[in-house]
Amino acid sequence: MSKDYYKTLGVEKSASKDDIKKAFRKLAHEHHPDKKGGNEAKFKEANEAYSVLSDDSKRAQYDQFGSAGPGYGGGSGAGAGRGGFGGFSQGQGFDGFDFSGFQQGGGGQGVEFDLGDIFGDFFGGGRGGGRTKQARGRDISVDIEIDFKDSIFGTDKKISLTKMSKCSTCSGTGGKPGTGTRTCTTCNGQGKVEEIKRSFLGQFAQVRTCPTCNGKGQIPKESCDTCRGAGVFSKQEELSITIPGGIDNGQSLRLTGSGEAVAQGVSGDLYIKVHVKRHPIFTKEENNLIMTLDIKLTSALLGEERVVSALDGDIVVKIPQGVSHGEILRVRGKGVPIDNGKRGDLLIKINTILPKRLSRTAEKLIEELKKEGF
């Protein structure tokens, strides 16, 4: 019994190859058996119809003899089972799909459609309903050096960079302000272009973003005088950077969108690696500041008050009588700033300095202390 392939695809007998292609794509998406609600029988019927009508020679033979004529035995034969490529026969692929149109032999012209467009819903590829990958500018990395005090309390720094930046005159469009746009002639306003690729299966179409309009479908009527239509150009920029308090040496900051710009896309990011200068007195350990305080033996024995220069001003530290060498004194709230206005602590390590030489008077006094049991 002769089959009406035009009726199967829902097109007129005079339909163009593009109309046939669009009709098949729609049915393939709708009826694919691996898709929820799919219909395997209708999917195979569409495969069979498309494999004939997409090929000029097969279509001419079909128009003359019909599907019951020479060369046709039913494109959805039993040779192809579901579940992979194990059921290949000469003209059949998985799930009954007819790959005969891809073969170079027999004078076939090859099936001109994007496999990813049909099976993208199931394998994560394809055109995805018109989605295009937006261009992105290059990331930039820079190094800066700051003082120890600035690393504790934070600071603002300014750096100068020469990089590709968005044109401020045309706001990155590449067009002369006020001149408007026109339809891109490369893609005819579609934002995409189709390229014919060849593989071991034959030739097929691959869709990519139009390089002329970058997927917009429109191009400026007149080019911007500043950037000459590029939308971006190289220039020196001064950037203000806020260094947060408590940053560690070697830590990096990320400024989203402050990298290099690209026409009709998003700018890359700027990565700033911070190097902290050594401090002659203080070191940082988590939220605490640590320092060593040298005292005399008499101060350790008798105790005293000492004025210590902290990072944010002088403080008075009380050294207790009989403090031990290496003992840690804690001054609360004088360390690294934390959230909610709180701060870590200042930890003072006692270093008792012993005299290298003693006078005769000092020796006698120490001998007296020795007699006292000290």
Mean pLDDT by runs of 10 across the 374 residues of the chain is: 84 89 86 76 87 86 68 42 37 40 38 46 43 77 95 93 89 86 89 75 72 83 87 89 93 93 87 95 94 93 91 92 94 89 92 89 86 79
- Confidence (pLDDT) at 147: 95
Residue positions counted in the chain: 374
**Are 134 and 265 within 8 A, CB to CB?**
yes
pLDDT at 314: 92
Start-end of CATH 1.10.287.110 domains in the chain: 5-123
Q: How many helices (H) and strands (E) does the chain have?
A: 8, 15
Q: Which CATH superfamily is domain 5-123 in?
A: DnaJ domain (1.10.287.110)
Q: In this structure, is the dihedral angle defined by the CA atoms of residues 211, 217, 221 and 222, taken in order, positive or negative?
A: negative
- Give the pLDDT of residue 211: 80
Q: How many CA atoms lie within 13 A of 85 on its CB side?
A: 2
DSSP string of 126-184?
S-TTT--PPPBPPPEEEEEEE-HHHHHH-EEEEEEEEEEEE-TTTTTS-BPTTS-EEE-
Q: Percent of the chain beyond pLDDT 70? A: 78
Region(s) of the chain under CATH 2.60.260.20? 283-371
pLDDT score recorded for residue 199: 61
pLDDT the model gives residue 141? 94
Rounded to two decimals, the pTM is 0.56
In this prediction, residue 68 carries a pLDDT of 53
As a whole number of angstroms, the distance between CA 63 and CA 56 comes to 10
* CATH class, range 283-371: mainly beta
- Burial profile 246-283: b = 16 or more Cβ within 10 angstroms, e = fewer: bbeeeeeeeeeebbbbbbbbebbbbbbebebeebeebe
Q: Which amino acid is at 15?
A: A
